[in-house]
Amino acid sequence: MSGIYLHIPFCKQACHYCDFHFSTSMGHKEATIQAIARELELRRNYLQGQEVKTIYFGGGTPSLLTQAELQLLLETIKGLFIVSEDAEITLEANPDDLKPEKLQELRAAGINRLSIGLQSFHEPHLRLMNRAHNATESLQCVKDAQAAGFDNITVDLIYGIPAPDHSIWLNDLETLFSLNVQHVSCYALTIEPDTALGRWSKKGKFKPSEDDFTAQQFELLLAQMAQHGFVQYEISNFCQPGYESRHNSNYWRGVHYLGVGPSAHSFNGHSRQYNVANNRKYTAAISESIIPAEIEELTLADQANDYLLTTLRTTWGCDLAVLRDKYAYDVQASHEVYLQELQQKGLASIAANVLYLTDKGKLLADQITLDLMLE
């Protein structure tokens, strides 16, 4: 099985925390969508006939696609690839785009899973992040989506936003649970240098939260999710039983995927491919039937590190036997003392030869992974 990711690089406005590739100018949108359809044709053999089980429209803001643009891309995929009848087809959306008529268009096109970027229900936080919607729209769009027949909805929330205490975050979570969505992705506010918040932070105009404050909010998140019956199957992802994101789970399981569009990434097991993050350069190259991408061939050590990076973030953990037998990396032999220390400190456990991070260890997942990686 495999997946297809489509990067739709357009937004109404720039969120102050986002460093993904996008443009707020729509003048080149039609040409870019046509180029994405053409790239699908050019790369029809990338997945080598594997059945496509997931399709994911990310961005950017895919909910800016017209019905005709969305149908063009989906029909192109279905004409070129073997698509499973029960494929998970996800579209990322902003609340302000999800009016009832838009929701009907998405349903008619074949979208069966919505990923809605709520981020917060607190108006000052939405303004700080320069979101294009308000809290009322956040609530209404989810209700409208449910009324339109969407029964697989995930929403995004951001924690670690500077605040006097944790009451705003707890209120956000209380509001979230009242919506009865099936899946939630929660991310700590990260200050990237080439963003408004990054520039303000450098100039002293914005002070990020302390690490301890953000860690406390993560711990509150874990407690609340467990209390409301959500399963944490990856560090940032929670779902009601049976509603894991099939597309994102495939990333963490090392399943092959094709990424099309400016800045999109692809993976076929032995290499990664990175499309140019520039709309005009992308469309110009595609018009000449050239894929404007860099290819990184993965060594066995690279593959071992990828396996560590992805599996340690998940509930199914890192199978040390797979790491040893498939990727020739015996982490137990090379890091015996370190692994013992992790277990003694309550940061990790090993059961049936599988390494798991505890809730405490998940707070340090990036550092632990780095410590275990092959150099």
User: Has residue 27 got a pLDDT over 90?
Assistant: no
Predicted local confidence at residue 375, as pLDDT: 81
User: Has residue 1 got a pLDDT over 90?
Assistant: no
* Class level of CATH domain 2-252: alpha beta
Could you report the per-residue pLDDT of 111-167, keeping only the tens digit for each?
Answer: 999 999 999 999 999 999 999 999 999 999 999 999 999 999 999 999 999 999 999
Helix (H, G, I), strand (E, B) or coil at 53: strand
Distance CA 54, CA 76 (A): 15
Distance CA 194, CA 11 (A): 17
Could you report the per-residue pLDDT of 179-191, keeping only the tens digit for each?
Answer: 999 999 999 999 9
Question: Where along the chain do the CATH 1.10.10 domains lie?
Answer: 300-372
Distance CA 99, CA 108 (A): 14
Q: With bands split at pLDDT 50, 70 and 90, how would you rate the model's confidence at 287?
A: very high
pLDDT above 90 covers what percent of the chain?
98
Could you report the per-residue pLDDT of 308-333, keeping only the tens digit for each?
Answer: 999 999 999 999 999 999 999 999 99
SS3 content of the chain, % helix, strand, coil (to 5): 45, 20, 35
Q: Output the CA angle 368-363-184, nearest 5 degrees.
A: 120
Residue-wise DSSP of 303-318: HHHHHHHHHTTBTT-E
pLDDT above 70 covers what percent of the chain?
100
Predicted local confidence at residue 106, as pLDDT: 97
Q: Output the CA angle 72-73-77, nearest 5 degrees.
A: 115
Predicted local confidence at residue 288, as pLDDT: 98
Predicted local confidence at residue 160, as pLDDT: 97
Question: Where along the chain do the CATH 3.20.20.70 domains lie?
Answer: 2-252
User: Has residue 223 got a pLDDT over 90?
Assistant: yes
Could you report the per-residue pLDDT of 11-22, keeping only the tens digit for each?
Answer: 999 999 998 899
Rounded to 10 deg, the angle between the 279-287 and 29-42 helix axes is 50
- CATH for 300-372 is 1.10.10
Other residues' Cβ atoms within 10 Å of the Cβ of residue 86: 8
Is residue 12 within 8 Å of 61, Cβ to Cβ?
A: yes
